[in-house]
């Protein structure tokens, strides 16, 4: 039946606990024309029969579901990922409604970019470090008096909003120019920068490192760099750090003279 397509967002579930909810997610994905499901560390392993039982026949997202160890792995080939979370965060990422968020993803998909929607597990939600890998936060306008939204419902509302963007289908706006770099390319950039900063003694005090890393990642992630820009920035990091080497060589030569 439906096939994964680069023009339709991927659904990524981080640490889902209940197979029933994974099945409900598959069902609602099928309802709204989504097919590519990724699972990061499902608590009870994978596959699980209960998921198929609860999918009411929407088996293809489950059959094709892939399992990953980390969110970073799961989004490594994606160019635009929005995290869905009800919780306020210390990050400076834009916060949007499902309507605005899916409209933005629809534009990205229309440009040919590979997109994803990231959801946290039932109890723990998303780690800030995982949200920091995303380009925006989608927050469903829940009544603050009762915030406990079921995972399947959260996916349903976003999938419905996605479908509304497609069903209303304005002609796709093929904007020329390169798309955003993949999650993998961005992670490469981040890790390169963090290695050099570590060497330079930037992360001080050490216990603040995770926080500093996360703030840096979410700050840079907002730019949605192209592949070329990622290469340029890695050149910048290399230049700033290799600068050390060059100056050292000069000094060394001088001392020898």
Residues 55-84 that bind a copy of itself (CB under 8 A): 56-58
Q: Which stretch binds a copy of itself (CB under 8 A): 70-78, 109-117, 125-133, 191-199?
A: 191-199
Using the minimum distance from each CB to a copy of itself, give the nearer residue, 74 or 84: 84
Q: Is 83 helix (H, G, I), strand (E, B) or coil?
A: strand
Residues 103-132 that bind a copy of itself (CB under 8 A): none
Using the minimum distance from each CB to a copy of itself, give the nearer residue, 58 or 71: 58
Alpha carbon distances (Å) from 199 to 154, 241, 244: 42, 9, 11
Q: Which H/E stretch holds residue 137?
A: strand 136-138
CA-based nearest residue to 119, from 138, 103, 132, 135: 138
**Signed CA dihedral, 54, 60, 63, 69: sign only:** negative
Using the minimum distance from each CB to a copy of itself, give the nearer residue, 73 or 107: 107
Strand arrangement, sheet containing 136-138: 66-68, 37-40, 10-14, 115-119, 80-84, 136-138, 95-96
Using the minimum distance from each CB to a copy of itself, give the nearer residue, 34 or 74: 34
Rg over alpha carbons for the chain, rounded to the nearest Å, is 21
* Angstrom distance (rounded) from CA 181 to CA 183: 7
List the one residue from 5, 70, 129, 215 that touches a copy of itself (CB under 8 A). 215
Q: Is 184 in the site for a copy of itself (CB under 8 A)?
A: no
Q: Which stretch binds a copy of itself (CB under 8 A): 36-44, 67-75, 111-119, 161-169?
A: 161-169
Binding string, residues 16-55; x marks residues near a copy of itself by CB under 8 A: --------x--xx-xxxx----------------------
* Angstrom distance (rounded) from CA 138 to CA 132: 13
Q: Which stretch binds a copy of itself (CB under 8 A): 64-72, 74-82, 110-118, 228-236?
A: 228-236
List the one residue from 18, 156, 185, 213 that touches a copy of itself (CB under 8 A). 156
């Amino acid at each position: 039946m439906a096939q994964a397509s680069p023009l339709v967002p991927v659904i990524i579930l981080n640490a889902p606990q209940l197979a029933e909810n994974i099945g409900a997610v598959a069902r609602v994905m099928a309802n709204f024309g989504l097919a590519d499901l990724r699972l990061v560390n499902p608590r009870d392993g994978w596959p699980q029969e209960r998921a198929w039982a609860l999918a009411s026949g929407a088996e293809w997202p489950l059959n094709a579901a892939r399992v990953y160890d980390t969110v970073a792995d799961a989004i490594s080939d994606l160019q635009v990922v929005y995290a869905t979370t009800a919780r306020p965060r210390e990050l400076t990422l834009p916060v949007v409604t499902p309507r605005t968020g899916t409209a933005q993803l629809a534009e990205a998909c229309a440009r040919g970019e590979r997109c994803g929607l990231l959801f946290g597990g039932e109890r723990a939600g998303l780690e800030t470090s995982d949200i920091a890998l995303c380009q925006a936060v989608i927050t469903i306008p829940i009544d603050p008096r009762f915030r406990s939204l079921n995972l399947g419902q959260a996916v349903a509302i976003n999938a419905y909003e996605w479908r509304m963007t497609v069903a209303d289908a304005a002609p796709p706006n093929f904007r020329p120019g390169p798309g955003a770099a993949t999650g993998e390319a961005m992670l490469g950039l981040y890790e390169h920068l963090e290695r050099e900063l570590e060497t330079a003694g930037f992360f001080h005090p050490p216990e603040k490192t995770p926080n500093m890393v996360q703030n840096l990642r979410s700050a840079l992630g907002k730019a949605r760099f192209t592949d070329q820009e990622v290469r340029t920035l890695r050149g910048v990091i290399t230049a700033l750090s290799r600068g050390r080497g060059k100056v050292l060589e000069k000094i060394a030569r001088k001392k020898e003279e």
